[in-house]
Structure 1
Amino acid sequence: MAPAKGAGVAMVLDRRALNRALLERQLLLERRHLPALEAIRHLVGLQSQAPGPPYVGLWSRLADFSFDELAELITDRKAVRVALLRGTIFLVDGDDCLRLRPLMNDFLVRNLWATHGTAGLTGADLAEVAAAGRAAVEAEPLTFKRLGEALAGRWPDSDPRALVLAVRATVPLVQVPPRGLWGRSGQSAHTSAESWLGRPLSGEGTRAELVRRYLAAFGPATVKDVQTWSSLTGLGEVVERLRPELRTYRDEHGRELFDVPDGPLPDPTVPAPVRLVAGFDNMLLSHADRARVISEADRGRVFTVNGIIRPTVLVDGFVHGKWDMKAARGTATLTVDLFRPVTEADRAAIHAEATALLAAAHPGAEPTVLVSAGR
């Protein structure tokens, strides 16, 4: 389906073509028989502001996935939760943490200054705060509250929260178990990635590598899409250097799309199965124009004003509703709120997916699935 390099007119990819390409690369067109760690690497991590979504995200994508598999990766220090892309918490494999975290340093420091300015760090040198914070969390994993208290003793004129964020921006802090384990709760305690993983930051990750990996998992895409996903700037120059090795297309609005040479482009008419997608899923967050998977009207139903991105239902590859799951006293309920009516076949598929997710997430609980008629 891809044109040969050097073709004079770029192929136009419509919304359905981009949708099917995204689903295929996000492992949502069919469940894959992959180890969870391999899937995490392919996806360049999963957004993990809350501990639960990566479990559902992998369950939606992988055949025979067990929630225990991811929990073991976290306890065995093979996967970590760390501030990364867009400055938010990502679940990534240990190697990616060490390779990619240095690429985010400048962004995280700029974000710190934009949020607090110099007033929040009155009398504090950023490098000294970073060194003191690193020493504190490497001596013992600390919550942000305890870290702020420790640093405030040395810099009493500074805002303790600003001191903590200064450490977060300059030191790769990972959240240690039991935080991040399914069914476990408690405050987040942090230590440095180097201390937790037992090796230094590699410094080998490059912006070119990041662009290639983004396109492999989310493409074809515009430069603005890559910047939306990563929050890095200046990526236009990186893409231009890569242009000789990339394929190019146009979308329906004439925007230039870039892609890796072997990026799959399924037939736009290929059926897409019903999927329950996790909250905060990167499939919804990683493009400037998200029409390839969600309409603007539905986006307002899924993205809340306080930054929550609700779990969603895909029907024919596009967001068609949202869902919520709760468990208590030996029962587990999954409620689906459809934004519009669906066929009986799709309703049956939604019910089957919801029942299977309840069994995976809350084994032994009495399951209940409630699906609305659609508005």
Structure 2
Amino acid sequence: MKGKLRSHTLFTCLVFLLVLSNLSAQETKLTGFTISPHFGEQVLTFGFDPEVSIHINAPSPEQFDKALPVHIAMFALPNGNTTAQTIGKLTTPEDDWHFDIQHIGAQTRFIRQHTDAYNLVIVYLENTQKSWPVWKASQPKHAQLIGEMVDTVRNIFHEYETTVVLTGHSGGGRFTFSYLDGVSEIPTYVKRISFLDSNYGYEEAYGKKIVRWLNASDENVLSVIAYNDSVALYNNKPIVSATGGTWYRSKMMQQYLSAHFSFSKEEDDEFIRYYALDKRIEILLKKNPKREILHTVQVERNGFIQGMLSATKHEEDGYSYFGERAYTEWIQHSNSQTN
């Protein structure tokens, strides 16, 4: 009997070790990355001359599936914000209010829980001026440099099939436009362009490139989110000129695209929505009858999620744009990388 028990115990131990071995083999630890205390994510931060910091956040080793492609969201920071503030965290009354207005970290985690076709990697792009328009004005080779930033990040994941999203909030839209300045044709690996109240710099020349890119593949998606900033007031004064905000530029973009694609329009008391190419083009315009400043509100109310999931089967799955925060459980407790 003792021999049988000993054999059974040995067999159980071997099975346990085999299970542990299989679990370990399924983990994908990325070279050069460290493990964040927040949800076990893999992170890497480095400088890119001149005056740029790049912070990469990848799924945890347990979540990263090496059999899947890597979907890289290049998120250019809004004017005046740091990377930590853009990622966001649970706040106290003593905290800077910037930590609670975007929550791109938590929104990224929400998306990861609702998609299984790729490994979502988020890349936070910050410069010392805290403004991509100001940085661009100081860099004669801005388009070349931004192209090199994208290539540098893609090369980190050279072992995998990679696709790229060009996105960002506020002045971060200048990063996308500067990237477009540097290419005659938008590369095939760029699969999504998402302007999150950030297309201030739109001109017709960009429209031409976007049209050719949209026609090049039925996998390419354009998402535009804006609100009526042309009537927004601060201290009873307009915050932008009649033609200087994203409301005007988004309408300008839609008008240009309508010469190439057939649009449908939906309108209610809250939104004007334009769709084309089976929703591969989606332009969401938030009305503003109270003349409020909704620039960051659009982001925190699931704006990043919407810009990333439009035209997919996961759109409006577990969230609604401009609805209540859908990502609360994924907000990290601090901005520390050590506790």
- Structure number with the higher helix fraction is 1
- Structure number with the higher strand fraction is 2
TM-score normalized by the length of structure 1: 0.27
TM-score normalized by the length of structure 2: 0.29
